[in-house]
Amino acid sequence: MEVRTRIAPSPTGYPHIATIYQVMFDFVFAKKYNGKFILRIEDTDRARFVEGAEQVIFDSLKWFGLEPDEGPVWGGEYGPYRQSERLDIYQKYAKQLIEQGNAYYCFCSKERLEELRTKQQKEKKAPMYDKNCVTLSKEEIEKKLSSSIPYVIRLNVPKNQKIIVSDVVAGDVVFDSSQIDDQVLIKSDGFPTYHMGVVVDDYLMKITHVFRGTEWLPSTPKHILLYKFLGWEDSVPKYAHLPLLLDPEGAGKLSKRKGHASVDFYKQEGYLPEAVLNFLANIVWNHPDGQEIFTLKEFEKAFELEPFKMEVKSQGARFDIRKLEWMNGEYIRKMPDEELTKRLQEFLVDHPAKDRIAPLVPLIKERIKKLSDFIPLTDFLFEKPEYDLSIFEKLKIKNLNEVLNKVFEDLKVMEKPWKSENFEKTFRNFAEKSGLKAGDVFQLIRVAVSGQIVTPPLFESVKILGEDEVIERVNEALVFLKSNRVA
């Protein structure tokens, strides 16, 4: 049997990082068993449809290197892969369910349903449809249909049955069918609901394993019923409901409002896709060898469905962005310089001098955690700094102007081209004579040439700027200090 997994996002907004988290499991699991990973677009909620969202999903999968084997633009023999293009299929199975008595037409008006809900709320009962239309006679149904009264098709959920969902993560979960609502399967606009669409498509697309968020677990008994009614019991996929990604600080789910829930955030901040995937795998799964850093391929190799070694299981997975930052830094440091240069060039779309990035890479590699950190660290190499008095005031030198003036004089007479040892020796001697710490003098030079406290190594930066530019900047810093009446 071929392993076939799928992700079934709804194009209702920009993709959440939790979608990628699910895709990662689907993808890795399919690859591990030489199976197929499928992308299906569940676009049946027309009210929530967002134009362009589908493309953003495609782009995100591509960015993470998690491209499907089958899908809307990828093709495949089980298409179409957009639910909106499969409406007649759902109608066919809905009709079958009606004929079998497992589903029924419901003509109840919005007002009646509203009244019912209010009544149930008052009686402190869970809101549930009261099966009012299940007893309609064939003739009554025909009459209503021919007079075009709007209708939905509902699942006829039997009472008092135990429905067992065998979940790879949660184990066997038992549901009481009496608590399950007669779910709408086909809406009044002719579109299926999620439940109808997901079952029909998972079956027809021969899906064998479903990795999805634990929030879908309560829906699964409805799906199991549908499989049973449609005679597909033997094809129920293996379910693995993944722990939710939790906000590290607060209670609850990682929310989109918190910024880092959206996939775009990671691209914009300069996280590496492979580091994000490693991080996502690591928060719910323990590598058998205890290592924290592992590639997707290594994950694929070591990941076993049973026992599914989940560190946190149903309690959810804390999403600590600081940990990701650390991990991203580790990936950057391990990356060959040429590769890092390439990534930076791709990331820094509007950078004024992309060809000047490569020589900086060895200088900044140890100092950045994200690609975006490159900019504040190296900006001064491409344009003159804007001085800020408070930064000079952080330095441990009292008579700044006077000291910098002497530095200026020394720089002017230093033999060109400047050599590292000579530069070092000159200012060490200078510090000693002036009763200053050498480190403080170098820090003053750093601020004078860059306007900032943290830069790549000083002498390397100085060499990149060139002797004349450095002398000019020190002079400009002097002018700045004078104009601010710093002694």
Q: How far is 1 from 433, CA to CA, in rounded Å?
A: 81
8 binds ligand GLU (CB under 6 A): yes
Q: Which residues contact 330 (CB under 8 A, 6 or more apart)?
A: 275, 293
**Residue 242 three-state SS:** strand
For position 10 contacting ligand GLU by CB under 6 A, the verdict is: yes
Residue 480 lies near ligand GLU (rule: CB under 6 A) = no
Spatial strand order of the sheet with 184-186 comes to 103-106, 152-155, 184-186
Q: Which stretch binds ligand GLU (CB under 6 A): 7-15, 147-155, 232-240, 272-280?
A: 7-15
- How far is the C-alpha of 260 from the C-alpha of 8, rounded, in Å? 22
One-letter identity of residue 204: L
Select the span of 5-13, 66-74, 101-109, 374-382 touching ligand GLU (CB under 6 A): 5-13
Is 191 a binder of ligand GLU (CB under 6 A)? no
The residue from 3, 30, 39, 198 that contacts ligand GLU (CB under 6 A) is: 198
Angle at 10 between CA 4 and CA 16, to 5 degrees: 95
Residue 256 among the catalytic residues: yes
Single out the residue of 17, 6, 7, 8 nearest to residue 194, CA to CA: 8
Closest distance of CB 454 from ligand GLU, Å: 43
Shortest approach of ligand GLU to residue 205 CB, angstroms? 12
Measure Cα distances from 111 to 123, 126, 154 in Å: 18, 18, 18
Quote the crossing angle between the two packed helices 458-465 and 374-382, to the nearest 10°: 40
Nearer to ligand GLU by C-beta: 38 or 407? 38
Stretch that binds ligand GLU, among 3-11, 152-160, 269-277, 423-431 (CB under 6 A): 3-11
Q: Does 216 bind ligand GLU (CB under 6 A)?
A: yes
Of 3, 9, 254, 385, the residue at the interface with ligand GLU (CB under 6 A) is 9
* Closest to ligand GLU by CB, 8 or 397: 8
DSSP 8-state class, residue 147: T
Has 256 been labeled as part of a binding site?
A: yes
List 105, 194, 266, 279, residue binding ligand GLU (CB under 6 A): 194
Select 228 or 354, whichever has its Cβ closest to ligand GLU.
228
The contacts of residue 115 (CB under 8 Å, 6+ apart) are none
Residue 183 is encoded by which pair of tokens?
């779910």
CB 42 within 8 A of CB 57: no
Which residue lies nearer to ligand GLU by CB, 31 or 212?
212
By CB under 6 A, the residues from 239 to 268 that bind ligand GLU are none
Pick the catalytic residue: 144, 187, 256, 342?
A: 256
Query: Is 168 a residue that touches ligand GLU (CB under 6 A)?
Result: no
Give CA–CA dist 72/68, Å, rounded.
Answer: 10
Q: How far is the CB of 215 from ligand GLU (least distance, A)?
A: 9
Strands (E) in 311-383, as ranges, are: 317-318
Residue 411 contacts residue 471 (beta carbons within 8 Å):
yes
Nearer to ligand GLU, 217 or 477 (CB): 217
| Residue list 18-57, contact with ligand GLU (CB under 6 A) | 42
H or E segment to which residue 240 belongs:
strand 238-242
Q: Which residues bind ligand GLU (CB under 6 A)?
A: 8-10, 42, 194, 198, 212, 216
Query: What residues are annotated to the active site?
Result: 256
Binding residues: 256
Binding residues for ATP: 256
